[in-house]
Structure 1
Amino acid sequence: MNIQQLKCFVEVSKTLNFTKASQNLFISQTAVSNHIKHLEETLGFHLFIRNKKHVQLTQQGKIFLKSALKVLEANQECYQMIQYLHHENFGQLRIGYLKGIEHCIMIKNIQNFYQHNKHMDIQLYRDSRQEIEELLKNHKVDCVFTARVGHDPIPFEDQFDYLHIYSYPFVVAMNKNHILSSYPSLDYFDIKNQTHVIMDTSHPDFKSHDLDTLFMHLAISQDTAILAQFVEDYYAYQKYLCFLPLKDFSQQFHIYLIWHKNSQNKSLNAFLQSIKKEKE
């Protein structure tokens, strides 16, 4: 029994047609038939019932198909792992990300990449913007998902390259019992006299540097917070909070991926290519 025999068996099982299977595998129909014949001889039972008009799996063939698919999947994973082991960094990627952006598109970027690179050693680091960008500066991580509002500059532009990932409009978060919660949307004039909770520790009105703590504060108070739209997906607080669109507000919350210009990490390059392909 070998991988080519299993590939032929699986392809014939999908198409129930030896001619189509041979075309999909780019080999002759005779080769497909011979592979199936040798596989059946090895197994000691027939995989298909064949006549001039129809091809169908035997009961044994249906059961064996499940195992064959698992073997081919394991073979593909093994092949990918071997490819990574030829890389200098053995397929390691250290990703830093800003606290509070867990529910933005970043998750989809990493998840899609991992689905095609399951043997890669992906390590995640979560911290404040200042700390996570410092990790990148000191080569403790390979790349960082960070955020900027409006036209805030990317740090250390002489050292880093960056890729714009996505931009989110802002919403106003508040307790569902807040006097403004019945509004369909708000503008800045509606909330200018409200007490705002923010996450910037350098701001004089600082209340919290952690999004969960901020949400807890909103749930028990009459304060409001202007936040990026993706925070609406924090399901744990949807019972207590509402999120209203903020109209006529020109600023947006921008997610960026930044990395060292001189990075030699092949895994990072593969990650960048994966994200760029998603953005096309």
Structure 2
Amino acid sequence: MNIQHLKYFISVAEHLNFTKAAEDHHIAQPSMSQIIASLEKQLNAKLFIRNNRTVALTPAGKVFYEEAKVITAKFDEAVKKAQLVTSGVEGTLRIGYWGPYEQILIPKLLGRFHRTYPKIELTITQDNNKALIERLEKEVIDVVFSSPYPFQGREDISCTLLDTSAQCVVVDKNHALAQEKKISPKRLNQEKLVLLDMQDPQDYIKLLKDFERNGFEPNIVSRPVLYNNLIMMVESGIGITLLPRCLEPYTSPELCFIDLESDMTIDFCVSWLKNSQNPCIPLLQDIIFKEYPSAINQQNHKTS
């Protein structure tokens, strides 16, 4: 007995005609009769009263018909739901991100994703890069928006570059450098520098290498963990900082962004486990490639 056999039985019960039921399912009438006879044998109950002219359900057949309809309907619903989840139309996508730039980038992508797949539940978590990597490895989250540097050398993680933004000097509007349009990194050697603590050594090492390459010997006086604290310290004149140019429209008007005479940039990427079984990830990938066509050629991005 299987689901298909139950569907054959239901068809005979509704037609009360073996020939018509067989035609509906594109099988021979003798085969249909054999299947029903097999069901009756397994159930040890007569399901139909048959004579040369008529077919009728027995009392047992009527009960079995009602239950079989419930079973097959539940089965069809389960199949449909499984197919929807497999195709990504339904499911859950768990997003992790770290910094302020991601707060700008994510809404546009997830907004389009949600409009396209409204039945997929989205959850969003903010944490430092180290914690995000651990959550990704344990599959507590599915996707991470962050800088690519923590994922260097990870063959098990797909990392796609989304955007690159120039690093700028950021000072409060009363600072002596506030009126400058462009500054050499070497001019910052005597300045007190406040840097955001990304709590990931790879990001910090990359930044220090950028400083060294540009002749900048930073005098780091504080490394706040929270972005809002960093902004407050710069506004208070405690020190200057470096931030990507793209953050300027979203930052306090009390601060001034000044171009650096250097090639210092910061990259932003999206990453997920290559062996992830979450069917929603390829759907997000499609949205990403539509919003960022150049990302197609930036998968498994290599950083220097």
1:177 alignment partner in structure 2: 174
Tell me the alpha carbon deviations over residues 220-261 of structure 1, each in whole angstroms, 9 at most, x when there is no partner. Answer: 1151101112221324x22x11111112x2231000111001
TM-score of the superposition, structure 1-length normalised?
0.63
Mapped contact 1:166–1:256 kept (Cα < 8 A)? yes
Taking the aligned partners of 1:229 and 1:138, their CA distance within structure 2 comes to: 34
Greater helix proportion: 2
2:118 alignment partner in structure 1: 118
- Two-structure CA RMSD over aligned residues (Å): 2.3
Pairs aligned (count) = 193
SS at 1:169's partner residue?
strand
Tell me the alpha carbon deviations over residues 109-157 of structure 1, each in whole angstroms, 9 at most, x when there is no partner. Answer: 2222222222220100101111112111111100100114xxx462461
Select which of 268, 271, 280 maps to 2:281: 268
1:241 alignment partner in structure 2: 255
Q: Which amino acid aligns with 1:260?
A: L
Taking the aligned partners of 1:135 and 1:153, their CA distance within structure 2 comes to: 13
Gap runs ≥5 in structure 2: 1-79, 205-219, 294-304
SS at 1:183's partner residue?
coil
1:97 alignment partner in structure 2: 97
Over the matched positions of the two proteins, sequence identity in percent amounts to 21
List aligned pairs for 1:253-264, cutoff 5 A.
253-264=266-277
Mapped contact 2:102–2:146 kept (Cα < 8 A)? no
Taking the aligned partners of 2:108 and 2:249, their CA distance within structure 1 comes to: 14
List aligned pairs for 1:1-280, cutoff 5 A.
86-88=84-86, 90-148=90-148, 152=149, 154-155=151-152, 157-200=154-197, 201=199, 205-235=221-251, 237-238=252-253, 240-247=254-261, 249-280=262-293
Cα shift at 1:106: 3.0
SS at 2:291's partner residue?
helix
Give the 3 Å change call, closer, same or farther, for CA 179–207 of structure 1 in structure 2. Answer: same
SS at 2:257's partner residue?
strand
Q: State the 4+ residue runs in structure 1 displaced beyond 6 angstroms.
A: 82-85
Cα shift at 1:205: 4.5
Mapped contact 1:113–1:271 kept (Cα < 8 A)? yes
SS at 2:177's partner residue?
coil
Tell me the alpha carbon deviations over residues 60-102 of structure 1, each in whole angstroms, 9 at most, x when there is no partner. Answer: xxxxxxxxxxxxxxxxxxxxxx889721573210010113224
Larger Rg: 2
Cα shift at 1:165: 0.7
Q: Which amino acid aligns with 1:161?
A: S
Mapped contact 1:84–1:120 kept (Cα < 8 A)? no
TM-score of the superposition, structure 2-length normalised?
0.58
Taking the aligned partners of 1:184 and 1:83, their CA distance within structure 2 comes to: 58
Give the 3 Å change call, closer, same or farther, for CA 233–134 of structure 1 in structure 2. Answer: farther
